[in-house]
Structure 1
Amino acid sequence: MKRTVLSICALVASTSAAYAANITPYYLTDGDSSLTYEITNGVLTNTFTTDQLGYPLAVRDSIWLGNRDDGGATEFSLAGVSTGNTSAGGSNFKQLLDGAAGNSANYGVECCGGTNSVTIANVDWSNQRVLFDLGFNGTGVAYDFVSNSLFISEFGNTIYNYDLTGQLIQSFNIGMRLVGLAYETATDTVWGFNRSTNNLVQLDKNGAILQDVNIANFAPNNPFGGEMRVSSVPTVPEPAPLALLGLGLLGLGLARKRRG
């Protein structure tokens, strides 16, 4: 009995730890200030100078930072050092505020125009083209590796989930405006940055808020692009702590019944 209780407590504790701040480094771009920030476990761990108007980014083994107006891209190491590699843009889009790395492509979201496209591009942001059109101002995009779909935020309180053909899967109102959406493969959740509070917010894929993380002494000027490094193999998320606790209590009840 004692061993069973200890095992259940350990399982619940390990699951709670999965939602401690942000496990994967979150990169946030402020293109107007030519800065990119790295935030890990709710702490600002690095700030480095990047390109003017660099907003949409894709993070794999390195960072490819695109230009807001489809003016090319520059590659940086994960520590923020330029590699010297660049790519040419097509100048076909305006106000690309956020980007996301997919399996073999990048995705961008356009704001404040007449159409506001969701774009697809090569991993270095070259050959950017329309994937499908939106009917609202897009401020964040994250690619979900498990469902092969996109989460997109607007200049409002709603987040939309689309498949790659532009068909709406679901939408939810979260009561706050998030930019810089990022998918975390380690937890199978979505993160975003609240420009009103300067907090990082974690959501499950049905829109429930899991965490609202304050970042001490952090007040960026005009951040929009957010991304987390893509893991090679997305892991299956662990069950919620309360669900585990319920299963544990059920197990204890069965054990007592057998002994009785």
Structure 2
Amino acid sequence: MRPFKRLAAALFGAAAIFSAPAHAIPITVDGGWASFGFGKAGQTFIEEPFTFTLTTAGILKVTDAFLSGDRFEIFNFGSSLGLTSAPGSVGDSIGPDYEAAFNDANWSSGTFLLSAGTYSITGIVVDSPFSGGGAALRVDTAQAVPEPASLALFGIGLLGLGALRRKRG
């Protein structure tokens, strides 16, 4: 029995050494859509995590594509960021037009605000009427929202009213 245990231990050790570890897939911030395939509901759809680093705030966008009807839960280092939206239809075809799918309520999509830092994005298929499919994600830096001109005009108007009231008083 002892030689069998040694052989088993040797085989287990060799398997651990020679098994292929999961590799991260680096993606470029502001680099466009990165596509991925997935299996049926309940399975991890990103076997190898997408990794990136943000130096400022960013936005992660995820969308189903090809045939509508799939929904995902997105994770960062194993911690849930949330679910994509419920699809508005099942079986509509859009192909690999990720931007159109993201902007169409028939396809599940999600937008996740991220702070500066390092990310390792994975996910699972929450719902799918199919045995697999395709989807995509992208990471963009968050754009600063400019102050609307109307707000500046409103402020000038208030100053004018204040000056007028002061002059009368």
TM-score of the superposed pair, with normalisation by structure 2:
0.34
TM-score of the superposed pair, with normalisation by structure 1:
0.26
Higher relative contact order (CA 8 A, sep 6+): 2
Higher relative helix content: 2
Of structures 1 and 2, the larger Rg is shown by 2
Higher relative strand content: 1
